[in-house]
A and B are shown apart, each in its own frame.
Chain A
Amino acid sequence: MKKVEAIIQPFKLEDVKDALKAIGVDGMTVTEVRGHGRQKGHKEVYRGQEYHVDLLPKIKLEMVICDNRLEEVLRTVTHAARTGKIGDGKLFVYDVTDAIRIRNDDRGEAAL
């Protein structure tokens, strides 16, 4: 099993979700996060007080999938989340040692 962690632009969430649904990936967890890679931040001004904001709003998608679907999922997410501009985000892949469905104790891939 693999865990894919995708940091994407917030406005791309719907596209990515739809694309994953189209290839049959239903399970995911989504979090609103803030961060930055190489992207520069922006300036905010409140009554003349300037702040440089470099932690930008992003969406973190986490999903655990079977090993044989990994390449397909990575391709789908990158394709759906890409604008070609800086700030599109990143994907990280981890090995997962086990999974348990709380409702009925299913283990491993059966729990996905």
Chain B
Amino acid sequence: MASAETDGNVDARWAALQSTVEAAQSAGDNAWMLVSAALVLMMTGPGLALFYGGLVRKKNVLATMMQSFIMMALATVLWAVVGYSLAFGEGNMFIGDLRYAFLNGVGSEPNPDYSATIPQQTFMVFQLMFAIITPALITGAFAERMKFSAMLLFMTLWLLLVYFPMAHMVWGKGGLLNAFSGGRVPCFDFAGGTVVHITSGVSALVCAVYLGRRKGYPGETMKPHSLVLSVIGACLLWVGWFGFNAGSALSSSALASSAFVATHFGAAAATLGWVIAEWIKSGKPSVLGAVSGAVAGLVAITPAAGFVTPLSALVIGFAAGVVCYFMVTSVKRRFGYDDSLDAFGVHGAGGTLGAILTGVFATSLVNDGLKDASGNPVALGWVDGNAAQVINQSLGVVIAWVLAIVGTLVILKICDILVGLRVHPLHETEGLDLSLHGEEAYNFEA
């Protein structure tokens, strides 16, 4: 009798202890994930707004910043209505269903399909920040010439037809490319090399070609009006990227640390890669080159962070710095498209390179999340002896490219017919700040 009582007591205390430990882990994970969500939002505003805003001419700085800022509102509302559900509802292998429409059932309980230790609300709001920055990245390609109304319509349709399906395919339960959920084509994309950077970068190229060049390009002076703003913006992007990549561990774990370190090393090596290439090629190491290199490295390490060692991150970053430098200089000049702020040259090219190199450098030493039947970690990339992963990654890249090209072309056509894409040539000359928004950035009288 006495012994049974003691046993019961031990069981109860054991259960209490276990739930205390779980609560502590949940609190730790949730704290990091909320901070990460805020860091990713900071990448769009003010990070990207400043980075892009500094690169345009004085008469277009507010309009350019607005294109980033308004995504913080537009994508959020869309996310609440259907976006989260289409991306992360179970659905089929291409798109989610409507089970979470209007955030139905998305509350404090974790969703173990994605993250067992944090409230689903935290997961939802963290993923939302990606849906904000991805379309904002595209705006660099059509800067200084697109109508605001056309941009709003374009972005709404683009999120629905390109981003939500792509996010579902790569990260959603049962998605076609989701290596961790039995996807038909198992791809590794830790934080969005395909979902974020290839879709936005390739769509950006389509936009630049479809809309045509800015009036007077090339030939007229279109110097960045304030590289100071761009440097500040790039630094905020770099810091925010820790939330983007390390947060994609979805926990405050050793994997998050690994992704954090890879992110930082990738950015550093890419900065040097770009600067060295530019110094050799054009004689001077420019500040714009240094910060562009950092962003290129952050882009390329995005799919790989959480799968690769710090030394692999250095290699990936350095390669991205050099490749993206040649993309925005030689390749852009050769083909003559006006990707005004190099959304394709940095995000499309860097994202593609990073996605493929992830197949080379991914290793189970860093990420043992995939186990075989007997519970041993499976070989991930080429360095683990699984060369075929490079093929899988390439298939994922092709799917992302095709979806981005076809989706963006269709959407541009629709927007062109409904509202027209470009501002009136006189308004383009006058500047979008005044003609679209009725404001000026730098006022003489004030």
Contacts and interface: CB of A to CB of B under 8 A. Distances in A.
A47 B282 contact: no
A70 to B, nearest CB: 34
A46 B286 CA distance: 8
A48 B288 contact: no
Contacts of A44: 223
Interface stretch (B147-155, B326-334, B409-417): B326-334
A71 to B, nearest CB: 37
Contacts of A46: 223-224, 286, 288
A44 to B, nearest CB: 7
A36 B376 CA distance: 73
Nearest to B281: A48
A15 to B, nearest CB: 28
B218 interface: yes
A37 B62 CA distance: 35
A31 interface: no
Interface in A43-77: 44-49, 51
Contacts, number: 24
Interface residues of B, number: 17
Nearest to B342: A47
Nearest to B274: A47
Interface in B203-235: 218, 221-224
Contacts of A49: 218, 222
A47 B221 contact: no
B289 A47 contact: yes
Contacts of B218: 49
Contacts of A47: 288-289, 292, 328-329, 342
Contacts of B224: 46
Interface in B256-290: 282, 284, 286, 288-289
A32 to B, nearest CB: 13
Contacts of B221: 51
Contacts of B289: 47
A97 B435 CA distance: 44
A54 to B, nearest CB: 11
Nearest to B345: A47
A46 B330 CA distance: 13
A8 to B, nearest CB: 24
Nearest to B341: A47
B145 to A, nearest CB: 17
A45 B282 CA distance: 8
A10 B153 CA distance: 49
A44 B282 CA distance: 11
A42 to B, nearest CB: 11
Contacts of B292: 47
A29 B177 CA distance: 68
A44 B286 CA distance: 10
B330 A51 contact: no
B328 A51 contact: no
A48 B330 contact: yes
Interface of B: 218, 221-224, 282, 284, 286, 288-289, 292, 328-330, 332-333, 342
Interface of A: 44-49, 51
21 contacts: A45-B282, A45-B284, A45-B286, A46-B223, A46-B224, A46-B288, A47-B288, A47-B289, A47-B292, A47-B328, A47-B329, A47-B342, A48-B328, A48-B329, A48-B330, A48-B332, A48-B333, A49-B218, A49-B222, A51-B221, A51-B223
Of all A-B residue pairs in the complex, the 7 with the closest CB atoms, nearest first, are: A48-B329, A47-B328, A51-B221, A45-B282, A46-B288, A46-B224, A51-B223
